[in-house]
């Protein structure tokens, strides 16, 4: 019991630190791409900038709109952040670094991710602002649409592994990563992860030119900080799931290279870099293009791959 509590607290602390320096890395990489300086004032090379930003938001006054439903308004960011945290309970960083190595780990992840939309829709509704409400509706429709494709892709991987256990899925890739035979699915999964986390170029819920800031437009101080932490935590989670389902998790292609946690971390840093790079180079989609991509391209492709894989396994009695 004490060991599980210690591992949970350690995971939360490491996750918060990772999210904080994810924001710094994003600003630094964007600065390099745009040929300007990123944060470089607070601390050596700006390394204390995330701590300064967190302290600033912590000390700011929480402003609640007079027309808002105050209880739901305050509870929505807490719910979003809490759901983003509990998803990490079944993520395997190496053979021993996992809080709950349960046999239904994938089902647990799908269940938790499906209720993540409630925090966003409640925040938009409770703000009693048309901009926040439209942003919440956009985000809800977007997340639900792309969750379907993600679900079919994950089912395809589960058919190959015949297990819901995340550690066993990683062990199944010790000879070949699933990303090699299922490269189109890996690409669709990654792009769907961008849409699922409301990330550029699918950041329609936060379109500044239309909705000011989307569902979190009325939030300030720690409410805004919790939404930001939840969003960046979900980006790290989707990157981790891409690594686990398609790129071998902590298994290294070099059999003599046994630093499992370092292997997982390097793969995660690569996907984080891709998230930032895509934000820098791609324009924002229109909303009809976003829905067209999800329902008429990704969904048929994911269902087709599922039928093809299950037919091969059934025909050859694998």
Q: How far is 126 from 259, CA to CA, in rounded Å?
A: 47
Please write the tens of the pLDDT for every residue from 103-127: 888 888 888 888 888 888 888 888 8
Q: Full-prediction pTM beyond 0.85? A: yes
Q: What is the DSSP letter of 87?
A: G
Q: At a CB cut-off of 8 Å and minimum separation 6, what does 273 contact? A: 29
For every residue of 110-173, which 3-state class applies, written as one string?
HHHHHHCHHHHHHHHHHCCCHHHHHHHHHHHHHHHHHHHHHHHHHHHHHHHHCCCCHHHHHHCC
What is residue 307's predicted lDDT score, i.e. its pLDDT?
92
Please write the tens of the pLDDT for every residue from 222-280: 888 888 888 888 889 999 999 999 988 888 776 545 677 788 888 888 998 999 899 88
Q: Where are the domains of the chain?
A: 63-315
Full pLDDT tens readout for the chain, 318 residues:
677 777 778 878 888 888 888 888 888 888 888 888 878 888 788 888 888 888 888 888 888 888 888 888 888 888 888 888 888 888 888 777 777 778 888 888 888 888 888 888 888 888 888 888 888 888 888 888 888 899 999 999 998 888 888 888 888 888 888 888 889 999 999 999 888 888 888 887 666 666 667 777 888 888 888 888 888 888 899 999 999 999 888 887 765 456 777 888 888 889 989 998 998 888 888 888 888 988 999 999 999 999 998 888 888 776
* Nearest alpha-carbon partner for 214 in 286, 137, 278, 115: 137
Two tokens, residue 31: 């600065």
Q: At a CB cut-off of 8 Å and minimum separation 6, what does 216 contact? A: 77, 123, 132, 135, 206, 223, 224, 227
């Amino acid at each position: 019991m004490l060991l599980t509590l210690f591992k949970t607290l350690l995971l939360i602390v490491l996750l918060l630190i990772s999210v904080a320096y994810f924001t710094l890395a994003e600003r630094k990489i964007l600065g390099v791409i745009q040929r300007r300086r990123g944060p470089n004032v607070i601390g050596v090379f700006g390394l204390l900038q995330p701590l300064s930003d967190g302290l600033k938001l912590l000390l700011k006054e929480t402003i609640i709109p007079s027309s808002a439903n105050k209880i739901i308004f305050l509870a929505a960011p807490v719910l979003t952040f809490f759901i983003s945290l509990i998803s990490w309970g079944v993520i395997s960083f190496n053979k021993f670094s996992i809080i709950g190595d349960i046999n239904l780990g994938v089902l647990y992840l799908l269940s938790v991710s499906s209720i993540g939309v409630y925090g966003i829709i409640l925040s938009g509704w409770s703000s009693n602002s048309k901009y926040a409400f439209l942003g919440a509706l956009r985000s809800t429709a977007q997340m639900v649409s792309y969750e379907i494709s993600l679900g079919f892709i994950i089912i395809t991987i589960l058919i190959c592994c015949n297990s819901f256990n995340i550690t066993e899925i990683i062990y199944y890739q010790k000879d070949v990563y699933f990303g090699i035979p299922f490269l189109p699915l890996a690409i669709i999964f990654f792009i769907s992860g961008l849409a699922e986390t409301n990330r550029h170029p699918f950041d329609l819920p936060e379109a500044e030119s239309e909705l000011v800031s989307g569902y979190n437009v009325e939030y300030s101080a720690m409410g805004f900080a919790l939404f930001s932490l939840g969003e960046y935590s979900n980006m790290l989670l989707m990157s981790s799931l891409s690594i686990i389902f398609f790129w071998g998790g902590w298994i290294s292609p070099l059999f003599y290279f046994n630093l499992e946690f370092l292997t997982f971390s390097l793969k995660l840093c690569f996907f984080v870099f891709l998230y930032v790079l895509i934000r820098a180079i791609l324009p924002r989609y229109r909303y009809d293009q976003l829905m067209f991509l999800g329902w008429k391209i990704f969904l048929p492709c994911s269902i087709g791959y599922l039928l093809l894989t299950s037919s091969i396994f059934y025909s050859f009695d694998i």
